[in-house]
Amino acid sequence: MRRFRSISGAVITLVVIGALAGACGSSSGTAASTTTPAALHGGMTVLAASSLTKAFTALGHEFETAHPGTTITFSFGSSADLEKQIEQGAPADVFASADQANMDKVVAAHDNAGTPATFARNKLEIAVEKGNPKHIAKLADLTAPGLVVVLCDPSVPCGKFADQVLANAKVKVTPKSREANVKATLSKVELGEADAAVVYVSDVASSGKVEGVTIPDGVNVITTLPIVTLKSSTNPALARAWAAFVVAHARELVDSYGFLAL
């Protein structure tokens, strides 16, 4: 009996040690299987506001370098147009909007797969030619005779916000044209086809071809930029990783591309 109890105790000890070793091995295996770089692969399509063109293109290269074997295809445009594309079933994995209103439409239509996350803010500024040859110092100066001003179309966020800012300042401007998105609007000043445009501060900062004239906060509009994964995604793991990457690199958007911190 004593010998039997001794053998039984040894067996029990070995079983316990084996179980603990197995648990440790299982834990280690699980950690390895969830390592992000190894798990991510394939491609995806990101629909993003025009104001994010330069910043997202750079971040996309960083992401692909950090995750070999992944490819991001960007489609930039006005948030309103991109929202309509999503609504009409355009294949895409992630949507990043220049405003909350268009993101709310995506959520209301149940086209989102996750919960939108805000990653930056933005506001408007007057873009003028280098050296500011027309000596524009305030919104009221945009009414000067002969001055060529362009604005975004009122159906897109930058146009809607520009109209709101001008109304807040009690300034009435008759633009030469209303462009489809903020990138097209800014290009008019960059190419010398317009003297001034009302665009986002991030666009002025990223351009390198124009200067910015500050619009006072008292009449300005602050917009938030949200990002979300989409229900139509064919690579949801990659989509989630990209959305998280953008949020994690919010400081870079502020420091390098002129966006405002949250």
Q: How far is CA 72 from CA 37, 98, 141, 238, in A?
A: 15, 19, 42, 9
Dump pLDDT digits (tens) for 59-83: 999 999 999 999 999 999 999 999 9
Q: Residue 262: is its pLDDT beyond 50? A: yes
CA gap 97, 102 in Å, rounded: 7
Q: Which residues pair with 152 in a beta bridge?
A: 179
Of 28-37, 234-243, 248-257, least confident by mean pLDDT is 28-37
Average pLDDT over residues 46-57: 97
Q: Which secondary structure element, helix H or strand E, spans residue 37, and what is its range? A: helix 36-39
Confidence (pLDDT) at 176: 98
Task: Give the domains, in start order, of the chain with CATH numbers.
Answer: 41-121+224-257 (3.40.190.10), 122-222 (3.40.190.10)
- For residue 232, give the DSSP letter: T
- Give residue 188's identity as a one-letter amino acid code: K
Q: Residues 173-209: pLDDT tens digits?
A: 999 999 999 999 999 999 999 999 999 999 999 999 9
Q: What is the pLDDT of residue 127?
A: 98
Q: What is the pLDDT of residue 38?
A: 52
Q: Indicate if the pLDDT at residue 139 is higher than 50.
A: yes
**What is the reported pLDDT for 39?**
81
Per-residue pLDDT tens for 217-237? 999 999 999 999 999 999 999
Given this model, what pLDDT does residue 175 score?
98
Residue 215 has pLDDT above 50, yes or no: yes
